[in-house]
Amino acid sequence: MLLEKIIESIDLELVTGDVEGKEIKKGYTSDLLSEVMASGNSDIWITVQSHSNIVAVATIIGVKAIVLVNGREYTQDTMDKAKEEDICLLRSKQDAFVITGKIYAMLQG
Amino acid sequence: MKATVDKLIDQMQLLFKDLLARDIMISNVITISSDRTMEQAKELMRLKKISGLPVVDDGKLVGLVSIEDIIKALENREIQQPLEKHMSKRLKVISPDANLPKIFEQFTRHGFGRFPVVDKANNLLGIITKEDILRSILEEFRVLYVRDKRMSDVLDGEALNRSLITGEEINKSGADFVFPIDYTEISLSGIGAARLKDFLLNKKDIPEDIVRKIAIATYEAETNVVIHSGNVGTIYCFVHEDYVRIRIEDHGKGISDVEIAMTEGFSTATDQIREMGFGAGMGLPNIQRYSDKMVIVSEVDKGVVLEMQFYKKNSD
């Protein structure tokens, strides 16, 4: 499924990054960086972590988009690094449970 | 009561009078350079849970930032200012040859929590806190540490230039990829692993999923250096015909029990670091899971050497 469609359907805020042509097949939800690492390859990652290290984690395992939940804000450093690495940064006021459920339903549907 | 304690201390001092500052001090000191701000000093002290930060320029001790200095700067809204303006410059130092009675005298006379140890040219050699004194005394009694001779051989000697896995000689200056790990900035952790991933993908002869395994294991090792070692480290990568070898070395605090550290869920990370999503106790287990071979050698206060090997082809 295209990232564009997910953003539109569940009303995510696009903070930075190029959405076009990004195909999403798998997702992962966790705030523990090592756990995300161990999960292998996911295309979209739902978390409450906003510091710049999440970009390093995303880059290494090939995550294309990060969804920051609970209305949290990315640091400037995170946004700068994400641009460099071509990773889409998204936001939502809703919590991880709700967002995960919605994206999961879309990917399954 | 006090008289008894004083007498006891006198006797103890006599017993340990040959214990010198150079034996007691911690030599891998976390330091900061004078061109940083008080804010940066505060963050470093918070993350590393330390109450005093020596300011060092080109190896020379130029000042000390204490919690009191930080509080003062916060109260006066000067936390963003360069720390050179706020650090303590009139320092009481200890020479490396000072013995235990002399060191005690300094602590009693000035009432400070810590003393930098400097040589005659004012180069910072280490730092001594009361805890360090206690630790050294206990160590003298051989109570705390049981040392493994083989480990110190690896970390001290010529063996540092040999592979831990195969024993063959390693020429680190001939590494295909080298990355120095900056331990002072936790948000920079993982950059080395990300660069390594790009480097290996550009080689085009290693499958993408293997490159990912290498990057994940390297990320964990890099993060361990940043969070735990309190010192600089280096990532070396050697690309061989059939396999890739990664070696990560640091000169930090070391691991007192590798077996426990390998246990999933075990972590010594501070709460602040855990809140950032690190320190889940999965670092070393992840490294073991993703590498085809791994050897880790460490001794307290001597650092950690981790070597991993990855085959270029999938085993199945």
Helix (H) or strand (E) holding B270: none
Q: Which of B189, B238, B190 lies closest to B216, judged by CA?
A: B190
Q: Are B136 and B23 in contact (CB under 8 A)?
A: yes
* Contacts B289 to A, Cβ<8 Å: 38
For residue B159, the 8-state DSSP code is G
Domain ranges of chain B: 2-140, 149-311
User: Which two three-digit tokens encode residue B82?
Assistant: 């360069």
Q: What is the domain range of residue A100? A: 3-108
Within this chain, domains B2-140 and B149-311 share the same CATH topology? no
Mutation site, A28, A29, A30, A33, interface B, largest B CB count within 10 A: A33
Helix (H) or strand (E) holding B115: strand B114-118
In this structure, which topology does domain B2-140 adopt according to CATH?
CBS-domain (3.10.580)
Give me the long-range contacts of B198-206 (CB less than 8 A, separation at least 24). Answer: B199/B237, B200/B237, B200/B239, B200/B244, B203/B239, B205/B312, B206/B244, B206/B312
Assembly ipTM: 0.81
Q: Report the number of distinct structural domains present in chain A.
A: 1
> Cβ–Cβ of A59/B216 closer than 8 Å?
no
The confidence score (pLDDT) of residue B93 equals: 93
Is residue B161 exposed (0-12), middle (13-18) or buried (19+ Cβ within 10 Å)?
exposed
Q: Which residue has the higher pLDDT, B143 or A18?
A: A18
> Cβ–Cβ of A33/B223 closer than 8 Å?
yes
Other CB atoms within 10 A of residue B45 CB: 19
Entry pTM = 0.61
User: Which two three-digit tokens encode residue A98?
Assistant: 């709700």
Beta partners for B311?
A: B243
Alpha helices for chain B (secondary structure H): 2-15, 21-24, 38-48, 67-75, 100-110, 130-140, 149-156, 191-203, 208-224, 258-261, 271-275, 283-290
What distance in Å separates the CA atoms of residue A52 and residue A77, rounded to the nearest whole number?
6
Residues of chain B with pLDDT under 70: 1-5, 8-15, 139-159, 314-316
Across residues A49-60, what is the average pLDDT?
92
* Contacts B188 to A, Cβ<8 Å: 52
Residue labelled with tokens 């709700």: A98
Across residues A10-17, what is the average pLDDT?
95
The confidence score (pLDDT) of residue B145 equals: 35
Q: Are A44 and A64 in contact (CB under 8 A)?
A: yes
Q: Number of residue pairs across A and B with CB atoms under 8 Å?
A: 67
Convert the pLDDT of each residue in B174-194 to its tens digit. 899 999 998 888 878 888 999
What distance in Å separates the CA atoms of residue B94 and residue B19, rounded to the nearest whole number?
14
Helix, strand, or coil (residue B152): helix
> At B129, which amino acid appears?
T
> Cβ–Cβ of B276/A49 closer than 8 Å?
yes
Across residues A5-15, what is the average pLDDT?
96
Q: Are A49 and A69 in contact (CB under 8 A)?
A: no
The confidence score (pLDDT) of residue B105 equals: 85
Alpha helices for B121-269 (secondary structure H): 130-140, 149-156, 191-203, 208-224, 258-261
The confidence score (pLDDT) of residue B8 equals: 67
pLDDT band of A55, cuts 50, 70, 90: very high
What are A's interface residues with B at a Cβ cutoff of 8 A? 31-35, 37-38, 40-41, 47, 49, 51-54, 56-57, 59-62, 77, 85
The domain over range B149-311 is classified in CATH as 3.30.565.10? yes
- The dihedral through the CA atoms of B151, B155, B161, B164 has a sign that is positive
The confidence score (pLDDT) of residue B142 equals: 46
> Cβ–Cβ of B278/A34 closer than 8 Å?
yes
Other CB atoms within 10 A of residue B35 CB: 11
CATH code: domain of residue A8: 3.40.1390.20
Helix, strand, or coil (residue B301): coil
> Cβ–Cβ of B280/A33 closer than 8 Å?
yes
CA angle, A44 as apex, B271 and A47 as ends, to 5°? 25
Beta partners for A44?
A: A27, A65
Mutation site, B208, B282, B289, interface A, largest A CB count within 10 A: B282
According to the 3-state scheme, what is the secondary structure of A43-86? CEEEECCCCCHHHHHHHHHCCCEEEECCCCCCCHHHHHHHHHHC
What distance in Å separates the CA atoms of residue B53 and residue B31, rounded to the nearest whole number?
6
What distance in Å separates the CA atoms of residue A26 and residue A104, rounded to the nearest whole number?
9
